[in-house]
Chains A and B, each alone.
Chain A
Amino acid sequence: MSKKYTKGTFLIQSIVSVIVIFYLLPFLVVFLYAFKSPQEIIGSSPFSLPEKLELVNFTQAFEALNFFQSFGNTFFITASAVLLLILLSGMAAYSIVRGGNKFFNGTYMFFIAGIMIPYQVIFVPMFVLGSNLGFINNLFGVIFLYVGTSLPFAIFVMAGFMKTIPKEIEEAAFIDGCSIMRTFWIIVLPMLKPVAAALTIILSLQIWNDYLLPQLFLSDNSMKTLTVMQSTLFSAFETNFNVGFAGIILSSLPILILFLFMQKHFVKGITMGSGK
């Protein structure tokens, strides 16, 4: 594409700017609220600047969220589940694509059908089963369930990518006497990095922001996740939007910073991972 800055480019720049203002509006409000006292919220226009920065909102939100703990939990659950998901979906996609007979095709359809099952509709039995397996109040139990329920989508994406990898390299490895598992581990897995990066974004956002599963499975305060703790800031009987919105900022800022740092890799990852 040309690097020239033409009239057309200016037009596009203007359109995008307007869109971005619309996007920023809710964030602006969140920020302004988070720095105001309850009285000021009532008394002033939502767009007015805070008279003085009410930092107490942040300390309150920090405490109410039990921030370090819940952030650590969320991070641990998300990171472990995503790592496992990438490994397992790679294994499944590899055997499905290379196995290529009726059985493997059938299994593929079996997995794909799972994309359509919203886990909310199988919640009660999932919980009964989970409690028998000791998944309650168990971070690993929750990780297990995330892996199980997100696998279909991950396999769907992985398999799409796997089909584009040429067989030749693997065949050479077989001839050298490598077993399939060894081939997968040494040759195929490293080739999956681009699609793994793309999947990492998609899956980690889903798991990071999930609410129902940790809400129902993790009752121990030391195991609660950020989303669950956030919900207690918005109760039907008492909501302090200033503290609530300060909580939103606190819990979103780290992941936003992470995104800013990782942006290049994210985009690169998707570029290579989107089935090209």
Chain B
Amino acid sequence: MSITISSKPTSIVHKKKRVNARNIQYFLLLLPPLVFFIVAMIIPLIMGIYNSFTDWDGISLEKNWIGFTNYIEIFKDEMFIESFKFTGLFMIFNTIIQNVAAFFFAVMLDSSIKAKNFYRTIIFAPVLLSPILVGQIWTKMYGTILPSINDLFALSINFNLFSSPNTVLTGLLVANNWQWIGYWMLIYLAGLQAVPKDIYEACTVDGGNWWQKFIHITIPMLGPSITICTIGIATGSLKVYELIVASTGGGPGDSSKSTIMHIYDTAFMSQQSSYASAMSVVFLLVLLIFAFIQLKVLRKREVEL
């Protein structure tokens, strides 16, 4: 829009033509990605929305239009609300813990300590495992390995975090953060290394201490990294499925069932495909609103800094 508005009235006809010709070329470049995106996501999404108004079970050859019945059901579905709460908490804690921990790990690894590469590699290593394996490993850790520390030192710490509804969230957060902090740490580390060193020096000359440097230089300069990490962690957490399936299976009871897991189970186990579609639509609407706010806030903050 800026191009046409800023053009001088005298050359407007000529410029417009050129702009249009250019726009066609830009559009041609845009076309292939658009095709991929539409086929892989948008058409299935529309099909899903259509399904949500039917009574299709996902297997049967029959499919009848039933209007908003499925949507009305959702608001009476305690499990959906519970799973939503769980997912929300999981996301909030993850976003805070992972951001803060990754940030500080990065700062510490950006200092002049020895064997940095070794540390970095170790902390990054869990990222290379699939969440399914992480789930299996931590199930084993909480179930057998850590309790055996109790035996060794005659302690009685409750390590089995997956066995009670009160601790299962903590247990999953530990496993999830163990896996992902290293990943975001790397992004922060990259951001830190991109901060021009002379800014720090200038600050030192002005008599600033490390804390002032940290607040006034490091954090603002990492603005874009914070945006990427926050969005990445939040969306990743909202989609959590494999880790939970492989570790707690949603239990004990229903206490660690994530929304995706509830939707997946409803579609594939309970064979209520259309109802699951309706839940997906509601979940997506919430996610989109949330994403919109997040993007606005983060981008705005970035500009201000």
Interface residues of A (CB under 8 A from B): 1-5, 8-9, 12-13, 15-16, 19-20, 23-27, 29-30, 33, 45-47, 88-89, 91-92, 94-96, 98-105, 107, 111-126, 128-129, 133, 144-145, 147-149, 151-153, 155-157, 160, 179-181, 184, 198, 201-202, 205, 208-212, 226-227, 230-231, 234, 241, 244, 248, 252, 255-256, 259-260, 263, 266-267, 269-276
Q: Within the assembled complex, what's the spacing in Å between the Cα atoms of A175 and B182?
A: 46
**Among listed B71-79, B92-100, B108-116, interface-contacting one:** B108-116
Q: How far is the CB of B20 from chain A (nearest CB, A)?
A: 10
**Among listed B7-15, B161-169, B276-284, interface-contacting one:** B276-284
Interface residues of B (CB under 8 A from A): 1-4, 22-23, 25-30, 32-34, 36-45, 47-48, 51, 58, 105, 108-114, 117, 119-133, 136-138, 140-141, 144-145, 148, 151-152, 178, 183, 186-187, 189-191, 193-194, 197, 200, 224-225, 227-228, 231-232, 235, 238-239, 241-242, 246, 260, 263-264, 267, 273, 276-277, 279-280, 283-284, 287-288, 290-291, 295
Task: Decide: A13 near B2, CB < 8 A? Known: A23-B123, A198-B190.
Answer: no
- A248 near B129 with CB under 8 A, answer yes
Which of A95, A107, A144, A205 has most chain B Cβ within 10 Å? A95
Task: Decide: A125 near B291, CB < 8 A? Known: A1-B111, A88-B33.
Answer: no
Q: Output the nearest chain A residue to B284 by Cβ-Cβ distance.
A: A117
Which of A117, A179, A211 has most chain B Cβ within 10 Å? A117
For the complex with contacts A116-B287, A126-B44, 13 further pairs of A-B residues with Cβ separation under 8 Å are A16-B108, A33-B140, A99-B30, A107-B30, A118-B239, A120-B239, A121-B48, A125-B48, A129-B47, A230-B130, A271-B190, A271-B191, A274-B194
Chain B residues whose C-beta falls within 8 Å of the C-beta of A201 in the assembled complex:
186
Q: How far is the CB of B43 from chain A (nearest CB, A)?
A: 6
Which of A91, A148, A227, A241 has most chain B Cβ within 10 Å? A148
Q: Output the nearest chain A residue to B109 by Cβ-Cβ distance.
A: A16
Partner of B27, one of A4, A33, A95: A95
Which of B38, B51, B190, B260 has most chain A Cβ within 10 Å? B190
Q: How far is the CB of A81 from chain B (nearest CB, A)?
A: 11
Task: Decide: A125 near B284, CB < 8 A? Known: A1-B112, A46-B144, A181-B29.
Answer: no
- B26 near A145 with CB under 8 A, answer no
- A118 near B225 with CB under 8 A, answer no
Partner of B186, one of A103, A114, A184, A267: A267
Q: Within the assembled complex, what's the spacing in Å between the Cα atoms of A250 and B258?
A: 30
Chain A residues whose C-beta falls within 8 Å of the C-beta of B246 in the assembled complex:
234
Q: Within the assembled complex, what's the spacing in Å between the Cα atoms of A208 and B280?
A: 25
Q: Within the assembled complex, what's the spacing in Å between the Cα atoms of A274 and B223?
A: 10
- A91 near B117 with CB under 8 A, answer no
- Do most interface residues of chain B lie in helix, strand or loop, or is the interface mixed? helix
Q: How far is the CB of A34 from chain B (nearest CB, A)?
A: 12
Chain B residues whose C-beta falls within 8 Å of the C-beta of A145 in the assembled complex:
40
- A151 near B291 with CB under 8 A, answer no
Chain A residues whose C-beta falls within 8 Å of the C-beta of B33 in the assembled complex:
88-89, 91-92, 111, 151, 155
Q: Within the assembled complex, what's the spacing in Å between the Cα atoms of A255 and B28?
A: 37
Chain A residues whose C-beta falls within 8 Å of the C-beta of B111 in the assembled complex:
1, 8-9, 12
Partner of A101, one of B1, B34, B126: B1
- B145 near A29 with CB under 8 A, answer yes
Q: Within the assembled complex, what's the spacing in Å between the Cα atoms of A50 and B38?
A: 53
Q: Output the nearest chain B residue to A174 by Cβ-Cβ distance.
A: B22
Q: Within the assembled complex, what's the spacing in Å between the Cα atoms of A16 and B182?
A: 13
Task: Decide: A125 near B51, CB < 8 A? Known: A26-B178, A151-B33, A274-B224.
Answer: yes
- A160 near B30 with CB under 8 A, answer no
- B121 near A1 with CB under 8 A, answer no
- B2 near A181 with CB under 8 A, answer no
Q: How far is the CB of B22 from chain A (nearest CB, A)?
A: 6
Partner of B36, one of A113, A144, A153: A144
- A129 near B44 with CB under 8 A, answer yes
**3 A-B pairs with least C-beta separation:** A148-B40, A270-B190, A275-B224
- B130 near A272 with CB under 8 A, answer no
Q: How far is the CB of B44 from chain A (nearest CB, A)?
A: 4
Q: Output the nearest chain B residue to A101 by Cβ-Cβ distance.
A: B1
- B125 near A266 with CB under 8 A, answer no
Partner of A180, one of B26, B113, B287: B26
Q: Within the assembled complex, what's the spacing in Å between the Cα atoms of A116 and B128?
A: 23
Chain B residues whose C-beta falls within 8 Å of the C-beta of A9 in the assembled complex:
111-113
- B238 near A126 with CB under 8 A, answer no
Partner of A95, one of B29, B128, B242: B29
- A95 near B228 with CB under 8 A, answer no
Chain B residues whose C-beta falls within 8 Å of the C-beta of A5 in the assembled complex:
112, 114
Partner of A112, one of B30, B58, B144, B295: B295
Q: Output the nearest chain A residue to B279 by Cβ-Cβ distance.
A: A121
Q: Within the assembled complex, what's the spacing in Å between the Cα atoms of A266 and B189?
A: 11
Q: Within the assembled complex, what's the spacing in Å between the Cα atoms of A259 and B125?
A: 9
Which of B25, B37, B127, B238 has most chain A Cβ within 10 Å? B37
Q: Within the assembled complex, what's the spacing in Å between the Cα atoms of A205 and B130?
A: 9
- A95 near B26 with CB under 8 A, answer yes
- A121 near B283 with CB under 8 A, answer yes
Task: Decide: A101 near B3, CB < 8 A? Known: A120-B263, A122-B41.
Answer: yes
- A125 near B235 with CB under 8 A, answer no
